[in-house]
Amino acid sequence: MALLEIENLTVEFDTVNGRFRALDNVSYSVNAGEVMAIVGESGSGKSVAMLAVMGLLANNGHIKADKMVFEGLDLMTMSPRQRRKVIGKDISMIFQEPIASLNPCFTIGFQIDETLKEHTELNKKQRKARAVELLNSVGMPEPEKTLKKFPHQMSGGQCQRVMIAMAIACEPKLLIADEPTTALDVTIQKQILDLLMDLQAKSGMGLIMITHDMGVVAETADRVVVQYKGKKMEEADVLSLFENPQNAYTRALLSALPENATGDRLPTVSDFHLNGEGA
């Protein structure tokens, strides 16, 4: 059975200019122990689906779906109270801006402790030990010292490690990573991706990787969903997607990669024509 199953999810937002459909009848299914990548450019609705799952959409968002089930629990009919129990514990999420995702007023130790207090039965001493253990597992040097630090005293990469530590604090069954490395330097990106893959392999959790970067997809994913303007273009396992893309948009996207350039010019997505930007 799939860990998370979503069928025909549509998300719409109320804006000043009327209703805007950000996601149009898209289905996803993630198995335990699997890395699924959702890839798309801006406006593809790649983040929206997972925000809907987490219940993090802004007030003007409207969700419609035939099915939204996590481990047999129906997320659509769940009470907010039940939902809070699942979210943060069994499903957790990390975001693009690691420094902005941490509360600047509190120490790292306090913030990890809060998460543990919310979702576990541990006492104070056990929680501290667990926090140290978590920081160790995400490769933070000197975890004891780190607990006393404030977010602004750390680099972006370190903050992202702390975010990951908090996200895996309750051993979630599903981790959603929304562009986890976009704000980071390449060498740091490599470290964070390695860490995520390592943790995923060890714990066997499901991992959803939301990204715009085909390179990140190639380095991490088992299965890939390609989205464009709120619609699913293609879903395939990673090798066949890169080797033999079925959809025209996917092909265009892959050929627009500078490393795949043949000759002087890069083919662009508007060559493929789905009223792209351009003049």
Partner 1 sequence: MTDTTHSSAPDTRIEVLKGFWRHFKTNRGAVFGLYFFLTLVVIAVFAPLIAPHGATDQYRDALLVPPVWMDGGSWNHILGTDAVGRDLLSRLIYGSRFSLFIGVVVVSVALVVGICLGLVAGTFRGWIDTVIMRIMDIILSFPSLLLALVLVAILGPSLINAMIAIAIVQQPYYVRLTRAAVISEMSREYVMAARVSGVRTLRLMFVTVLPNCMAPLIVQAALSFSTAILDAAALGFLGMGAQPPTPEWGTMLAEAREFILRAPWVVTFPGLAILTTVLAINLIGDGLRDALDPKLKRS
Partner 2 sequence: MSEDIILEARNLVREYRTKEGMFGKLNITRALKGISFKLERGKTLAVVGESGCGKSTLARILTLIDPATEGDLLIEGKKIDIAQQKITPEMRGKVQIVFQNPYGSLNPRQRIGDVLTEPLMINTDMTPQERRDKAMEMLVKVGLGPEHYNRYPHMFSGGQRQRVAIARALVLNPSLLILDEPVSALDLSVQAQILNLLADLQEELNLTYLFISHDLSVVRYIADKVMVMYFGEVVEYGTRDEVFGDPKHDYTKTLFNATPRADVAHIKERLARTA
# of chain residues touching partner 2 (CB under 8 A): 43
Taking CB under 8 A as the binding criterion, the range among 8-16, 71-79, 237-245, 247-255 that sits at the site for partner 1 is 8-16
- Answer with the entry of partner 1, partner 2, none that 99 interacts with (C-beta below 5 to 8 A by kind): none
- The 15-54 site mask, x for binding partner 2 (CB under 8 A), equals --------------------------xx------------
Please work out the total of residues on this chain that contact partner 1, with binding judged by CB under 8 A: 8
Does 242 sit near partner 1 (CB under 8 A)? no
Show the binding pattern over residues 211-240: x = contacts partner 2 (CB under 8 A), - = does not. Answer: -xxxxxxxx------------------xx-
20 contact, one of partner 1, partner 2, none, CB 5-8 Å limit per kind: partner 1
Tokens of 16: 């000043």
Residue 101, phi then psi, degrees to nearest 5 = -80, -15
How many secondary structure helices (H) and strands (E) does the chain include?
Answer: 12, 11
CA dihedral for 41, 45, 48, 50, sign (positive or negative): negative
Q: Is 265 exposed, middle or buried (0-12, 13-18, 19+ CB in 10 A)?
A: exposed
Pairing of strands 67-70, 231-237: unpaired
Please answer whether residues 224 and 237 qualify as being in contact, where contact means their C-beta atoms are separated by less than 8 angstroms.
yes
Binding-site member from 118, 133, 260, 273 for partner 2 (CB under 8 A):
260
- Nearest Cα to Cα of residue 114 among 71, 152, 166, 155: 166
Q: Pick from 201, 202, 204, 273: which binds partner 2 (CB under 8 A)?
A: 201
Residues of span 158-197 touching partner 2 by CB under 8 A:
185-191, 193
Partner whose binding site includes residue 17, from partner 2, partner 1, none (CB under 5 to 8 Å by kind): partner 1
Q: Which does 16 bind (CB under 5 to 8 A by kind): partner 1, partner 2, none?
A: partner 1
Rounded to whole angstroms, the Cα distance separating 74 from 107 reads: 36
Token pair listed for 181: 């490395």
43 binds partner 1 (CB under 8 A): yes
Q: Is 243 in the site for partner 2 (CB under 8 A)?
A: yes
Single-letter code of the amino acid located at 4:
L
Looking at residue 271, its amino acid is D
Looking at the Cβ atoms of 24 and 219, the one nearer to partner 1 is 24
CB of 6 to partner 2, least distance (A): 25
Backbone angles phi, psi at 177, to 5 degrees: -110, 110
Cα distances (Å, whole numbers) of residue 55 to 14, 24, 32, 165, 266: 17, 18, 21, 22, 40
Which whole-number Å values give the CA distances from 202 to 179, 195, 205, 206, in the listed order? 22, 11, 8, 11
For residue 35, which of 199, 230, 257 has the smallest C-alpha distance?
199
Work out whether 16 is an interface residue with partner 1 (CB under 8 A). Answer: yes
- Would you count residue 258 as binding partner 2 (CB under 8 A)? yes
Interface with partner 1, residue 22, by CB under 8 A: yes
Q: What is the helix, strand, coil percentage profile of the chain, to 5?
A: 40, 25, 35
CB of 276 to partner 2, least distance (A): 6
17 scored as a contact of partner 1 (CB under 8 A): yes
Positions in the binding site for partner 1 (CB under 8 A): 13, 15-17, 20, 22, 42-43
